[in-house]
Structure 1
Amino acid sequence: MRSGSKNFLSALDFFLLFFSSEAIATICASTNKYARTRIVERPTHARSRGSWEEVTPSEMLQFIGLVIYVGIVKVPRLKLYWNMGSMYSGLLPPQIMPRSRFIALLTLLRVPDLDDASQLPRGKLRHVWWLLQHINQVSAKLFQPHRYLSLYERMVNSKGRSGSRQCVSDKATKRARYKLWVLTDPDTGYTVQVSARTGRRVQPGPHGLAFDLVCDLCAIYLDQGYKIFMYNFYPSARLFCHLLERRTVACGTTGKDRRGFPAELKDTLWGEKAGRGDIRWLRNRNILYLQWKDRRVVNMMSTMHTANQKVTAERKGSTWTQISVPKPLLIHDYNAGMLGVDKSEQMIECYSVLMRSVHWWKTLFFHCIDIAC
C-alpha cells in the first residue's frame, strides 16, 4: 500500500477503504430518493415497496454484510436464510434484519445516477458508472503497483437483461455474462483498474477498441517505466509504438492475421517442419515478433525482450521421459506476468457475492463488493 496508510487489523478495515462512510451515505441518499420516486409513480402492495422506511448508513452496511454472508453460506433459496423451522434455522440473517426489509433494500438499491448519458463514454453504464469510477479512484489512491501490470478480460455471471451482456461459449460456463476489462498487479492479484463494456453500439476510436481500452486503463501508469503483459485481444503495432512513446514497454500473445504482423512470419509451412523448441523472429520498429514451436506455434510481440534470451523448459517426451526444451525468455516472462490473472480470479471467485437480479447493473454492483473484499 502507499505510504501514510493506517494500520489495519481486520478485513472490515480494508473493506471500508472502498465503501467509506461518504460512499455509503451517497448510496443511501440515492436509494432513498429512488424509493420515494418509485413508490409515488408505481403504487404497489408488494412487501418490498409497500411501507418504505429510509435506509441509514448503518443499515446499508448491514445489508452489504448480509450480501457477503449469502455469498459465503450457500442455501438453495434466498427465503431459507430466514426459515426458523427447518434445518436452516440458526443462520445469521434473521438476527440482522427481517426478510421483507432485505428484499426491499435489494429491490430499491440505487447508486448515484448520471442523468446526462452524453457525459459517459459508455452511455448504458450510467446506473453504475459512479461506483466503477469510485472503485478505480480508491484502488489507484491506496495501492502503487509493482513493476509489472497484467491486462485481461473478466467475465461476470448474470441473469439480468441488457445489451451489455454477452454469451461466451468457449469459457467455463455457457451462460450470459458481462465482460469487464481489468488491469491487475501480477505479484498480488490486486485489481488496479476495471472498465465495463456495453456492446457494439458504442463506437470505438480511430485506432480500435483494444487501443482505447489499454490507454484508458493504463492512463495514470504511463510515463513511469511499467511493463505491461496482455493477452491476444490487445496487442497491435500501433499500440506498442504508442506505449513506447509513453515510456512503457509491453508484451503479449498475438495472431498471424493481426494487422501489422510481418508477412515473413505468416506462412504455415515453417510450423509443420519446425521441431519442438525452434524459434524464428523478426524485429520491426522496435517491436520483436517471435514464433516459438512447442506443441504448436505460439506468436508473440514484445518491446521489452531480445530474441536470443532463453531459458530451459521441461517437457514430457514421446516415451514419457523428461526432456529439456529451449524456451524464449519472452514466453517465460509472459507466463509469469499473467499469473496475476489467476490470483485475481481466485480471490474474486472463491466467495463471490453474486445474487440473481433483474436489473443488470446490480451484477456490477455486487462485483464491486467482490473487489473491495
Structure 2
Amino acid sequence: MPGLTPEEVFRILYALPEDGEDSDISTDSNDYSESQNTSLILRNSDNVIVSNEDNCFNLTIDTSEIGNMSPCQASVSDSTPETPAATFSSSEKMWNENISYFENRPLKLEESAENIANFSKSDKEIKYFESTFTEELLLHICNQTNLYARQERCIVKSGKKTTKVSSNWQDITVPELKAFLGMLILMGVHQFPQLGNYWSSDPILGVTAISSVMTKLRYKKIVENLHCNDNSTYVKKGKPGYDKLHKIRPVIRAISNKLCKVYKPSSVLAVDECMVAFKGRSTLKQYMPMKPVKRGYKVWCLADASTGFIINFDIYTGKRDTNDTSEFILGEEVVLTLTKAMDGSKRLIAFDNYFTTLRIMEELQSHGLYGIGTVHPNRKDLPYMLKKNSKLSRGEFEFAVRSCVAAVKWQVSKPVCILSNYHNPKHVTTILRRNKDGSRS
C-alpha cells in the first residue's frame, strides 16, 4: 500500500471506536476472569502483536510481509506469542458469574398437592378408576365398537381375501363394557394357560366370578370387535397426519386430560420415561437394557415428585418423521408437550440428562416454569468450565451463568453437571449421602 505508513495500515484494518459505548461488540469482563494479570494478545500471522500487559497496549509491527496480512487472521491467546492461540466461541463469552437474575427467586416453592376428586379412605378402587375412566369415555368405546362391528373388513381365509361384517353382533352397552373390563383385570390376577379354563365345568379350574358374568362366546365376540376409534378416519403411513396410535388415541387423550382435573400437583414435578412390560410383537416395542423392565412400551410421564401421581403421559412411537419441522430435539419436545398445561404456574420441572439442554431451560423460563436437570457437559452452547478438568475436591463446586440459566459443576466421586433456571448457584446447602447399607451420612 504505497503512501501509507505501517501504523496507518494497521489503523485501517483493525480500527476500533475510541469510546467503548460506540462499539457494536458487547464484551464481558468475566470472559477472561482466571487472572486479572493475564495478558491479552492479539496475533496476526506472527506479524502484528498487541498486548495489554500492565494495562497499556504495546504495538509491534513487522512490515516485511505487510501485504499478506488479513483482518480475518486475528486470534486470541492468554499465553506467550509462541503458544498457539486459544479460541473462544461467541456462546462461551456469554457465560459469566452475574447472579442478579437469581437474587429475586423465591427460596421455597409453596404449592402443595391437593386431591381435587375428594377421595376418602372408605372409597373403593372402582371410584379411583371411574375418576379417570369416565362414563363419556366408556360410551365412546361402546359407540366405536358397535360401529366397527357393522363395518366391512378384509378377512384372509385359505389364502383368499374377502370382506364381511361381524355376524350375530349385539350392541354392547356401558354396563356390559364395565363387566368386560373387570373380567380382563381379574384374568390378569388369576392367570390360566388357556382362555377356556375360566369357563371350565371342572370345579378346580372354573372361575365363577368370570363364567357367571358372560358366556365365553360373548366374551370372544367383544374381543373381536372392541374398538376405540373410527377406521374410516385412519391416515395411511407416509401421509401427513399419520399416527401409529390412531386406534387408541382417543383413550390416551381422554385419560391424560382427565388426570390434570382430578389432582392438583405440588410445586415440584418430574419428567421421565417408564416402561410397560410387553414381549409380544409390536413395532412400538422398545428394548432398554439399563431399565428394570427391558422390553415393552416406552411411555413419557409427567409426575408429581412428592407423591408419584402421573399428571400427563404420552407413548413413544419411535423415530420422528423426516418431514417433522419442529425446531426442538425429541427430549425438548417431550418436556414442552407434557408441561404445556402447567405454563405460567411457576412450578419446578426436574428431569435427567436425556432432556436437559440450555434451550429447554430458556423455553421453560419463557413459559413461566422453572427447570433443573443433570446435563452432558458436551451439550451445545454450554460453558467450557463444565468440560475442563478442574481437579475439585469432594463437595467443591464452580458455576457460570448465562441470562436466566446457571451451569454448576459439583464434585462428588466424579463431577456432576447441572443446569437450572431457578436455583441461585451461590446458595449452598448440606445433604446426606446414601451409603451401601442404606444409611445416610
TM-score normalized with structure 1 length? 0.74
> Which residue in 1 is equivalent to 2:306?
187
The reply on whether 1:153 has 2:273 as its aligned counterpart is yes
The reply on whether 1:310 has 2:429 as its aligned counterpart is yes
> Which residue in 1 is equivalent to 2:402?
284
Moved more, 21-30 or 163-172: 163-172
Report how far residue 28 of structure 1 moved.
Answer: 0.9
Report how far residue 18 of structure 1 moved.
Answer: 2.1
Cα distance in structure 2, aligned partners of 1:228 and 1:152? 11
> Which residue in 2 is equivalent to 1:234?
355
Q: Which runs of 5+ in 2 are unaligned?
A: 1-113, 158-165
SS at match of 1:123: coil
Does structure 2 retain, via aligned residues, the 8 Å contact 1:210–1:234?
yes
> Which residue in 2 is equivalent to 1:167?
287
Report how far residue 77 of structure 1 moved.
Answer: 4.2
Report how far residue 162 of structure 1 moved.
Answer: 3.9
The residue type equivalent to 2:306 in the other structure is: D
Evaluate the alpha carbon distance shift between residue 43 and residue 178 of structure 1 in structure 2; reply closer, same or farther with a 3 A threshold: closer
Does structure 2 retain, via aligned residues, the 8 Å contact 1:292–1:298?
yes
Structure with higher RCO (Cα < 8 A, 6+ apart) = 1
> Which residue in 2 is equivalent to 1:299?
417
Report how far residue 204 of structure 1 moved.
Answer: 5.9
Report how far residue 174 of structure 1 moved.
Answer: 3.6
The residue type equivalent to 2:141 in the other structure is: I
Cα distance in structure 2, aligned partners of 1:231 and 1:292? 16
Cα distance in structure 2, aligned partners of 1:312 and 1:26? 51
The reply on whether 1:124 has 2:238 as its aligned counterpart is no
Evaluate the alpha carbon distance shift between residue 280 and residue 19 of structure 1 in structure 2; reply closer, same or farther with a 3 A threshold: same
> Which residue in 2 is equivalent to 1:250?
371
Report how far residue 190 of structure 1 moved.
Answer: 1.5
**In terms of Rg, which structure is larger?**
2
Evaluate the alpha carbon distance shift between residue 80 and residue 254 of structure 1 in structure 2; reply closer, same or farther with a 3 A threshold: farther
Report how far residue 278 of structure 1 moved.
Answer: 2.9
SS at match of 2:178: helix
SS at match of 1:128: helix
Moved more, 16-25 or 240-249: 16-25
The residue type equivalent to 1:168 in the other structure is: M
Evaluate the alpha carbon distance shift between residue 98 and residue 116 of structure 1 in structure 2; reply closer, same or farther with a 3 A threshold: closer
Q: Greater share of helix residues, 1 or 2?
A: 1
> Which residue in 1 is equivalent to 2:95?
none
Aligned length: 313
> Which residue in 1 is equivalent to 2:149?
35
Does structure 1 retain, via aligned residues, the 8 Å contact 2:272–2:352?
yes
Evaluate the alpha carbon distance shift between residue 100 and residue 262 of structure 1 in structure 2; reply closer, same or farther with a 3 A threshold: farther
Q: Which runs of 5+ in 1 are unaligned?
A: 325-373
- In the TM superposition, structure 1's runs of 4+ consecutive aligned residues that sit over 6 Å from their partners are 118-122
RMSD (Å), alpha carbons? 3.0
Does structure 2 retain, via aligned residues, the 8 Å contact 1:279–1:291?
yes
SS at match of 2:377: coil
Evaluate the alpha carbon distance shift between residue 169 and residue 195 of structure 1 in structure 2; reply closer, same or farther with a 3 A threshold: same
> Which residue in 1 is equivalent to 2:336?
215
Among candidates 81, 86, 92, match of residue 198 of structure 2 = 81
- 1:280-335 deviations in Å (ceiling 9; x for gaps): 32222221212223233222111121233221324559xx9x995xxxxxxxxxxx
> Which residue in 1 is equivalent to 2:48?
none
Cα distance in structure 1, aligned partners of 2:415 and 2:320? 35
SS at match of 2:264: coil
Among candidates 60, 64, 67, match of residue 184 of structure 2 = 67
Report how far residue 206 of structure 1 moved.
Answer: 1.1
SS at match of 2:245: helix
Does structure 2 retain, via aligned residues, the 8 Å contact 1:122–1:197?
no
Cα distance in structure 2, aligned partners of 1:120 and 1:20? 31
Evaluate the alpha carbon distance shift between residue 171 and residue 284 of structure 1 in structure 2; reply closer, same or farther with a 3 A threshold: same
Evaluate the alpha carbon distance shift between residue 84 and residue 215 of structure 1 in structure 2; reply closer, same or farther with a 3 A threshold: same
The residue type equivalent to 1:217 in the other structure is: L
Evaluate the alpha carbon distance shift between residue 17 and residue 224 of structure 1 in structure 2; reply closer, same or farther with a 3 A threshold: same
> Which residue in 2 is equivalent to 1:23?
137
TM-score normalized with structure 2 length? 0.63
The residue type equivalent to 1:158 in the other structure is: F
The residue type equivalent to 1:93 in the other structure is: I
Does structure 2 retain, via aligned residues, the 8 Å contact 1:111–1:130?
yes
